[in-house]
């Protein structure tokens, strides 16, 4: 039985050190949708050196400094927004929604620190993610809002592995090579 058999949205895929595909090496993916037809997620730890104001012609000044991330290799010309739960979008994890437009966010209580913009996304066909997980390419764990908003992108992969403990903790220190310990 696949570790994904009973998983809906709201879990993390943590790339195994053995996953060398440059699109996914050392990534942490927030899964937005997962069912028999396939899966859709956003890479959380590939920040770009741009803010929304750099890529959109017109943007409300409140959102000008929203951080832009490479969400995955598919449709990189499309933006997806993730925000702290603000009443709009699809709830994925407690206090995290995906798919709200900036115009859907409330006038108060949400600022640029509460929003992430992702160019592109990661996608898998039906059964593909289950096969990759069974092969050991991905480690599955529940997601939390702090994974999206509280841990710096450059430390997310190693932090999540350390939190898992045991065999995963040493992976975070040595890229999975026990001879490097």
For position 72, what pLDDT does the model report? 97
176 band by pLDDT with thresholds 50, 70 and 90 = very low
pLDDT of residue 1 exceeding 80? no
- Of 72, 70, 69, give the one whose Cα is nearest residue 123: 72
For position 178, what pLDDT does the model report? 46
Q: For 90-114, what is each residue's pLDDT tens digit? A: 899 999 999 888 888 777 778 888 9
User: SS3 breakdown of the chain: % helix, strand, coil, rounded to 5?
Assistant: 25, 35, 40
Q: For 67-98, what is each residue's pLDDT tens digit? A: 999 999 999 999 999 998 766 788 999 999 99
Enumerate the domain spans of the chain. 11-180
Q: For 55-66, what is each residue's pLDDT tens digit? A: 998 998 989 999
- Entry pTM: 0.90
- Of 154, 166, 147, 132, give the one whose Cα is nearest residue 15: 132
pLDDT of residue 54 exceeding 90? yes
CA distance 47 to 107: 26
For position 172, what pLDDT does the model report? 81
What is the CATH code for 11-180? 3.40.1740.10
pLDDT of residue 174 exceeding 90? no
């Amino acid at each position: 039985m696949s570790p994904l058999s009973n998983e809906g949205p709201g879990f993390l895929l943590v790339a195994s050190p053995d996953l060398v595909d440059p699109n996914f090496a050392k990534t942490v993916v927030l899964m937005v949708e997962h069912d028999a037809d396939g899966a859709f997620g956003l890479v959380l730890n590939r920040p770009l050196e741009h803010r929304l104001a750099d890529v959109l012609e017109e943007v409300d000044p409140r959102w000008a400094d929203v951080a832009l991330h490479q969400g995955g290799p598919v449709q990189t010309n499309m933006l997806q927004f993730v925000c702290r739960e603000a009443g709009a979008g699809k709830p994925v994890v407690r206090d995290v929604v995906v798919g709200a437009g900036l115009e859907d966010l409330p006038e108060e209580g949400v600022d640029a620190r509460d929003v992430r913009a992702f160019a592109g996304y990661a996608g898998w066909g039906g059964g593909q993610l289950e096969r990759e997980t069974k092969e050991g390419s991905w480690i599955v764990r529940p997601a939390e809002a702090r994974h999206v908003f509280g841990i710096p992108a450059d430390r997310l992969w190693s932090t999540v592995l350390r939190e898992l403990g045991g065999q995963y903790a040493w992976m975070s220190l040595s890229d999975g090579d026990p001879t490097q310990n």
